[in-house]
């Protein structure tokens, strides 16, 4: 019986492979480049993923200019980011179906074309509604492409190479959010907010050219048969409703209508329960579900999903909390914030590359646990900072957290999905990406809610122009919450250790 952990790259097309199978494309790549073609393939999808990540982060620097141009209030302007995040989170669930129905090259190129059109439409629009539609289109494309690199790493690379591939890919992708806002700020100053949308265009064009050269028609580690089934639109609708209700409910908790917030959160719970029921019914009837619940029969994947959700909550929550803390808590300028985070970003890129190599030799559960412990320590150390503390302490504490992220990023997907049977790998990558993003969306609102709550308890508000000991105490309690979440995630990370033989069939 074939070990599901080891990707198989066929030397000949299987007898039952469909017409226009991936085999000729794989053979031509292997004949021309040998085993190096896998690295060229990884580079191809890395460029596209960088474009999708950049489109999600860089737009924040354009919101003030866009708000002035369209005369928008803060709530409407924020939908430029929120609409993208909702679309990206939900569309991740469609990746396995698209890969199975249309193949890898068509799916990947299609998402890049969609991202390209979204960037052009957003930059050329003179109506805010069209800008919002363009952002949703970009979000849909970004969501579909996000799980693809993890699938390729697990299917095209041997187990002893997967960590190195994840480290190289992670190092490249980290550069997008690190340099994107800096370049975006210069573009906005020189050319205005529209230039932000156009920035993804050269990346998309480059990724499309690379895809036609290096991305095989179907799976790089084996042939994927075309599916005749239709997309699970009902499941997709329930997932969308649940995500929208959850995000809006969390935002409503910060308002003056607790009943409205309660109804939205209750709607989210009902929608997600209905989603799970429908996925189970789809599987029982032999149809292709949007999320195969058989994934969670693998203990390591189930625990990895818990880690991914909490990790997303802490990561995205801290991404919101740290700049606010530095500017409104410690009274640092925006330029100081960028300078402080730059060394941490460089250390993160280096750490990912080094830990990627370690992941090929060391247990992934140990690397993930170390990363979560360092991330928790970073949050806990923030509590010791005071208004008269040296900036160098803040740099060190932020760097410790980024080192923790460097341990987690290359290891979590490998540790969670390596035990899966090969047919479940696309579903696994899609599901774990969805849960991580859902946790991220939750984390931003959760940090904002906890911070506002603790500020009110201490009798302060972020509206006040000057900081105070009470404000610092409120931030300390928000950081303590994030440290506690990371510590909780360690308990799940310890379960990534393999304790018994893995199932080989589904």
pTM for this entry: 0.78
CA dihedral (287, 288, 293, 299) positive or negative:
positive
* pLDDT value for 176: 67
* pLDDT value for 177: 63
Q: Running DSSP on this structure, what letter comes out for residue 231?
A: P
* pLDDT value for 222: 44
- Beta carbons within 10 angstroms of residue 497's beta carbon: 15
| Closest alpha carbon to 98 in 145, 136, 33, 142 | 145
Higher model confidence: residue 483 or residue 60?
A: 483
Residue 251 in this model has a pLDDT that exceeds 80: no
- Contacts of residue 404, defined as CB under 8 A and 6 or more positions apart, other chains included, come to 370, 371, 372, 373, 374, 375, 376, 377, 378
Q: Running DSSP on this structure, what letter comes out for residue 333?
A: -
Residue 15 in this model has a pLDDT that exceeds 50: no
E strand or H helix that includes residue 179:
helix 159-191
Summarize pLDDT for 176-196 with one digit per residue, the tens. 666 666 676 677 778 888 888
Summarize pLDDT for 205-225 with one digit per residue, the tens. 999 999 888 887 765 544 444
Residue 22 in this model has a pLDDT that exceeds 50: no
Summarize pLDDT for 134-147 with one digit per residue, the tens. 989 999 999 999 88
Residue 309 and residue 438 in contact, taking contact as beta carbons nearer than 8 Å: yes
What size, in residues, is the chain? Answer: 506
| Closest alpha carbon to 54 in 105, 95, 107, 115 | 115
* pLDDT value for 75: 59
CA distance 95 to 85: 16
* pLDDT value for 178: 61
Residue 125 in this model has a pLDDT that exceeds 90: no
């Amino acid at each position: 019986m074939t070990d599901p952990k080891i990707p198989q790259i066929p030397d000949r097309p299987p007898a039952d492979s469909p017409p226009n199978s991936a085999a000729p494309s794989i053979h031509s790549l292997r004949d021309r480049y040998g085993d190096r073609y896998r690295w060229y393939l990884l580079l191809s999808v890395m460029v596209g993923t960088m474009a999708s990540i950049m489109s999600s982060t860089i737009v924040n620097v354009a919101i003030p200019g866009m708000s002035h141009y369209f005369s928008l209030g803060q709530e409407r302007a924020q939908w430029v980011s929120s609409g993208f995040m909702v679309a990206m989170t939900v569309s991740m669930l469609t990746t396995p179906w698209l890969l199975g129905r249309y193949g890898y090259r068509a799916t990947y190129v299609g998402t890049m074309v969609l991202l390209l059109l979204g960037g052009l439409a957003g930059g050329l629009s003179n109506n805010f509604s069209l800008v919002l539609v363009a952002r949703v289109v970009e979000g849909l494309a970004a969501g579909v492409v996000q799980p693809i690199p993890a699938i390729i790493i697990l299917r095209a690379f041997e187990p002893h190479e997967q960590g190195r591939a994840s480290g190289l890919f992670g190092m490249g992708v980290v550069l997008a959010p690190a340099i994107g806002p800096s370049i975006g700020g210069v573009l906005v100053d020189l050319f205005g907010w529209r230039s932000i949308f156009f920035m993804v265009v050269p990346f998309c064009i480059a990724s499309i050219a690379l895809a036609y050269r290096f991305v095989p028609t179907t799976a790089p580690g084996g042939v994927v048969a075309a599916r005749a089934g239709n997309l699970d639109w009902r499941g997709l609708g329930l997932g969308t409703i649940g995500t929208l209700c959850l995000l809006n409910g969390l935002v409503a908790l910060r308002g003056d209508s607790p009943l409205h917030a309660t109804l939205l959160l209750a709607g989210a719970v009902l929608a997600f329960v209905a989603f799970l029921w429908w996925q189970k019914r789809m599987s029982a009837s032999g149809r292709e579900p949007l999320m195969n619940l058989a994934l969670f029969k693998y203990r390591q994947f189930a625990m990895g999903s818990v880690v991914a959700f909490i990790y997303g909550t802490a990561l995205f929550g801290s991404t919101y909390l740290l700049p606010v803390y530095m500017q409104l808590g410690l009274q640092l300028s925006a330029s100081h914030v960028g300078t402080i985070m730059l060394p941490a970003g460089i250390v993160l890129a280096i750490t990912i590359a080094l830990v990627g190599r370690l992941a090929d030799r060391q247990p992934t559960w140990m690397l993930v646990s170390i990363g979560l412990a360092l991330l928790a320590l970073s949050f806990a150390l923030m509590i010791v900072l005071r208004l008269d503390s040296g900036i160098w302490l803040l740099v060190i504490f932020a760097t410790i957290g980024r080192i923790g992220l460097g341990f987690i990023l290359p290891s979590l997907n490998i540790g969670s999905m390596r035990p899966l049977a090969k047919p479940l790998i696309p579903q696994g990558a899609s599901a774990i990406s969805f849960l991580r993003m859902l946790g991220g969306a939750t984390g931003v609102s959760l940090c904002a809610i906890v911070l506002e709550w603790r500020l009110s308890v201490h009798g302060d508000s972020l509206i006040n122009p000057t900081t105070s000991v009470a404000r610092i105490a409120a931030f300390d309690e928000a950081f303590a919450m994030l440290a506690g979440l990371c510590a909780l995630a360690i308990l799940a990370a310890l379960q990534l250790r393999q304790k018994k033989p893995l199932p080989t069939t589904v």
